[in-house]
Structure 1
Amino acid sequence: MKRGIDHLVLCVNDLEDCAAFYRQLGFTTTPRARHPWGTDNCLIQLAGSFIELLTVSRPALISAAEKTTFSFGAFNQQFLSRRQGMSMLVFESTDAAADREEFIARGLPIYDKFYFERQARLPDGRQVPVAFSLVFATDPRMPQAAFFCCQQHAPQYFWKAEYQSHANTVENILEVIMVAESPDAFSGFFAKLQEPDSVVIEGSGLSVHTPRGIIKMITPAEAVRRYGVADLSDFPNSPFFLGFSMQTHDLGLVAEYLSKNRIPHERFNRLIRLHPKNAFGVMVEFQG
């Protein structure tokens, strides 16, 4: 089955600072929410996908991973012990149990299905329960990158037009950029997460075409050439998420927010780029 991008997990030390930063970029953020296992988040809801700003808030509640149990909290806690940045890529799901069975049949390293509930605050201030079923899939060659499918059980409470409206006119996630020494070595993994015809080898890199957004995996040399990221020393030697790009209807408006708030950036013809050192460890692009 082909699965569109559901959301990105951006793991940071200070959630309030990060949420304020994204508001300076012209985004609307949801109120802070709390997971039962020791992490907190704020969301940036887009048109059918979202960005999850995440931090470890109560380390004592985080449980260790077990052989068949993936620990969301422990993974992100370990990630933060090394750096800030994008730690996870999530795909949409309408049936997490069926996704898990498909992954098992395809030989992916998977874990027990995980269900949880949390409280969400609506724009009118009411607190309501939202619930999710998650199915994690990992590759031992990518210890700093995790993937999972997310099925929502109360989408009527989750998605709200007030949270999806952004002053910078951003609506969609276009691309997620990963970096690896040998991208083609991971074509089989992505073909199992999606479908074989979703994966396209492009020179030294690869692209994974999903129903909502594209994943691109490129070499470190290509990352330097294409994105001007001259210093990769803060990133791991294993494959990692470098950043992501979004579509905006008004690139000039994005530039105004960046200039007004003195956020360092580069501007090209139809593109604005923030480098990881200026954006909590992740490269952020706006495409007009």
Structure 2
Amino acid sequence: MPHGLDHVVHAARDLDAAADFYVRAGFAVGGRNRHPWGTHNRIVQLTNCYIEILEVAEPEKILPHRPRLFSFGAFSRDFLARREGFSMLLLNSRDAATDARAFEAAGIGAFEVFDFAREGKRADGRTVKLAFSLAFAAEPHSPDLGFAACQHHFPENFWNPSFQNHPNAAQRIAGVVMIANDPASHRGFLEAYSGVKPVRTEGGVAARTENGVIDILNPSAARDLLGFPVEAGGAGIMLNALRFAVADPSRTEALHRQNGLAVRRHGEKLVLPPKEAFGATLIFEAAKES
């Protein structure tokens, strides 16, 4: 079953400081949400995908990994012990139970579906119910990057145009950029995970989903894209960057500079590097006319 982008987890040691960065970068950021397993998050929502800024706020509540149980809290704690940045990629799902079975059959996951619910608030202050089911996957050589498919049970309560109006003119997430020393060796995993047959690109492979592109680039191709050197983590994949489609890059750049961010011009792109972006890289490019 083909999947598109749903959301990306940006793990940070100080949730409010990371959220303040996103505000200065021109995004509307939601309020603090609390999970019963010890993590807290704040959300940046775009039309097609969202960023979950996340911290481990209550480590005493974290459940350990167990056979067939992927502990979201334990994974996030262990990731943050090493670094900050993009820790998980989650694709959309129409049926998490079906996806979990498919991942297991493909040899990329042997986890039970994880169900959870919480309350959310609409822009007018009304409380609404939110519920999700996650089917986790794993890339054998990439223990530092989490993968899952996310089913929204009340999508009408989550996706809201009122939360998608950003001062930096960002409209959608055009794609995610992952780095690997040998992108082709991850082609089988990418196809099994995304449900989309990857194509070869200059310096990597890409799955062009219905809802954004998943690129895996080698370090040389990533350097050409970003304008600065990047390194892969051994034999595995690292999630390095998000590509944002913006209505007016000049407006975006002016806002970043006004807010004291060291945004870089690289060709026709704007780049906020990891030193600014809590271990992540944000790329802003002109939205293509449909």
Structure-2-length-normalised TM-score: 0.93
> Which residue of the other structure, out of 253, 258, 275, is the alignment partner of 2:273?
275
Secondary structure in 1 aligned to 2:275? helix
Matched ranges for 1:31-180 at <5 A: 31-180=31-180
Deviation at 1:231, TM superposition (A): 5.7
Give the letter aligned to residue 149 of structure 2.
Answer: C
Is the contact made by 1:198 and 1:210 (CA closer than 8 Å) also made in structure 2?
Answer: no
Superimposed CA distance per residue, residues 201-229 of structure 1 (whole angstroms, 9 cap, x where no aligned partner): 23541111111111111122332343233
Matched ranges for 1:203-282 at <5 A: 203-230=202-229, 232=231, 236-237=233-234, 238-282=236-280
Structure 1 CA distance for aligned equivalents of residues 250 and 233 of structure 2: 34
Structure 2 CA distance for aligned equivalents of residues 141 and 57 of structure 1: 28
Superimposed CA distance per residue, residues 125-163 of structure 1 (whole angstroms, 9 cap, x where no aligned partner): 233331100000011200111110111112222122211
Structure 1 CA distance for aligned equivalents of residues 201 and 86 of structure 2: 24
Superimposed CA distance per residue, residues 68-87 of structure 1 (whole angstroms, 9 cap, x where no aligned partner): 00011111110000000000
The more displaced of 215-224 and 8-17 is: 215-224
Identity of aligned residues (%): 35
Is the contact made by 1:182 and 1:204 (CA closer than 8 Å) also made in structure 2?
Answer: no
Give the letter aligned to residue 104 of structure 1.
Answer: E
Superimposed CA distance per residue, residues 34-90 of structure 1 (whole angstroms, 9 cap, x where no aligned partner): 111100111111113111111111000011111200011111110000000000111
Q: For residues 263 and 151 of structure 1, do their structure 2 counterparts lie closer, same or farther at Cα, with a shift above 3 Å needed?
A: same
Secondary structure in 2 aligned to 1:181? coil
Is the contact made by 1:41 and 1:53 (CA closer than 8 Å) also made in structure 2?
Answer: yes
Secondary structure in 1 aligned to 2:135? strand
Structure 1 CA distance for aligned equivalents of residues 148 and 248 of structure 2: 32
Structure-1-length-normalised TM-score: 0.94
The alignment's C-alpha RMSD in Å is 1.6
Structure 2 CA distance for aligned equivalents of residues 219 and 85 of structure 1: 19
Deviation at 1:95, TM superposition (A): 1.0
Q: For residues 212 and 15 of structure 1, do their structure 2 counterparts lie closer, same or farther at Cα, with a shift above 3 Å needed?
A: same
Structure 2 CA distance for aligned equivalents of residues 198 and 31 of structure 1: 38
Secondary structure in 2 aligned to 1:111? coil
Q: For residues 98 and 62 of structure 1, do their structure 2 counterparts lie closer, same or farther at Cα, with a shift above 3 Å needed?
A: same
Structure 2 CA distance for aligned equivalents of residues 37 and 122 of structure 1: 24
Count of aligned positions: 285
Give the letter aligned to residue 13 of structure 1.
Answer: R
The more displaced of 212-221 and 74-83 is: 212-221
Give the letter aligned to residue 58 of structure 1.
Answer: E
Structure 2 CA distance for aligned equivalents of residues 94 and 225 of structure 1: 36
Secondary structure in 1 aligned to 2:82? coil
Give the letter aligned to residue 112 of structure 1.
Answer: E
Stretches (4+) displaced over 4 A: none
Name stretches of at least 5 consecutive residues in structure 1 with no aligned partner: none
Give the letter aligned to residue 248 of structure 1.
Answer: V
Structure 2 CA distance for aligned equivalents of residues 6 and 231 of structure 1: 25
Structure 2 CA distance for aligned equivalents of residues 2 and 98 of structure 1: 12
The more displaced of 104-113 and 273-282 is: 104-113
Deviation at 1:230, TM superposition (A): 2.7
Deviation at 1:105, TM superposition (A): 2.7
Structure 2 CA distance for aligned equivalents of residues 29 and 254 of structure 1: 16
Is the contact made by 1:276 and 1:283 (CA closer than 8 Å) also made in structure 2?
Answer: yes
Deviation at 1:269, TM superposition (A): 4.8
